[in-house]
Amino acid sequence: MTTDQTPSLKSNFIIAIDGPAASGKGTLARRLARAFNLPHLDTGLTYRAVAAELLAQNLALDDEAMASEIAANIELGNLDKDILSDHKTGEAASKIAVMPGVRKALVEAQRNFASKAPGAVLDGRDIGTVVCPDADLKLFVSASPEVRAKRRHEELISKGKPSDYPEILSDLRIRDERDASRTDSPMKKACDALLLDTSKMDIETAFLAAKKWANAALAAKSKD
Ligand code: DC
């Protein structure tokens, strides 16, 4: 038993968490990883790292060959959330994420991360559908665009950064549309994913629900 009262892991235990920006999926993924003693990969950072490199070198965001080459050389150990989390990088990441060459390279690195014992928690847009379709637990975390924009707005204000709610809401809607309508691996709920709508939930309530599902998935796996 771990300190979190979870049974010991017999083999790779994979939790896949998908959902739109500011849905709370990142916080849930981090907390589940801690509770189950698993490494965590925020796959959004891998797309952000490619975008940040293109921006830093003043390269075009529609150069798929260059973006794919950068993607093939991304080091997962070097992803710095503080450096990659700004709004401009997120927008650019969503644009380069439509490119099959970029996705192919990043998905390979993400699968490699997930394949190591004792398993992992990964969050993103296509984890349950493409990266880890055999995950032990799949969650799709969602919330209304207004609630997500309010969260982002309050987060920026609390950090003393400038923020404009209508602009954030409009950008979120555009990003959702781009992420959900691209041809290669669009953001969507896997048919066997559990839906967690956090619109009217605080993060603690959402975490307790997710942890309950994860404990059940782990118990089912231990019986196999
Ligand atoms: O989760 P995030 O905001 O850091 O993600 C940034 C962008 O990266 C997102 O708008 C779309 C892309 N992305 C993706 O296409 N697939 C993933 N698994 C994760 C992120």
Report the CATH number that the domain containing residue 48 is assigned in CATH. Answer: 3.40.50.300
Given a contact cutoff of 8 angstroms between Cβ atoms, the answer to whether 14 and 136 are in contact is: yes
Structure tokens at 70: 């950068």
Q: Which of 40, 41, 47 best tests ligand 1's pocket when mutated (most atoms within 8 Å of CB)?
A: 47
Q: Percent of the chain having pLDDT more than 90?
A: 90
Residue 8 placed within a domain = no
Residue 179 placed within a domain = yes
Q: For ligand 1, atom 7, which residue shows the shortest CA distance?
A: 94
- What element of type H or E holds 14? strand 13-18
The model's pLDDT over 132-143, given as tens digits with 9 standing for 90+, comes to 999 999 999 999
- Give residue 101's domain range: 13-214
Task: Identify the pLDDT of residue 6.
Answer: 43
Q: Is the CB of 97 under 6 A from ligand 1?
A: yes
Distances (CA, A) of 206 to 24, 187, 209: 9, 21, 5
Residue 3 placed within a domain = no
How many domains, the chain? 1
User: Which residue carries 């839906």 as its tokens?
Assistant: 195
Residues ≥6 apart with Cβ < 8 Å to 200: none
Residue 4 placed within a domain = no
Give CA–CA dist 162/153, Å, rounded.
9
Helix (H, G, I), strand (E, B) or coil at 121: strand
Q: Is the CB of 18 under 6 A from ligand 1?
A: no
Residue 23 sits at the vertex; the CA angle it makes with 21 and 27, to the nearest 5 degrees, is: 100
The model's pLDDT over 162-189, given as tens digits with 9 standing for 90+, comes to 899 999 999 999 999 999 999 999 999 9
Task: Identify the pLDDT of residue 11.
Answer: 79
Position 5 pLDDT exceeds 50: no
Residue 224 placed within a domain = no
Residue 223 placed within a domain = no
Given a contact cutoff of 8 angstroms between Cβ atoms, the answer to whether 178 and 96 are in contact is: no
The model's pLDDT over 85-129, given as tens digits with 9 standing for 90+, comes to 888 999 999 999 999 999 999 999 999 999 999 999 999 999 999
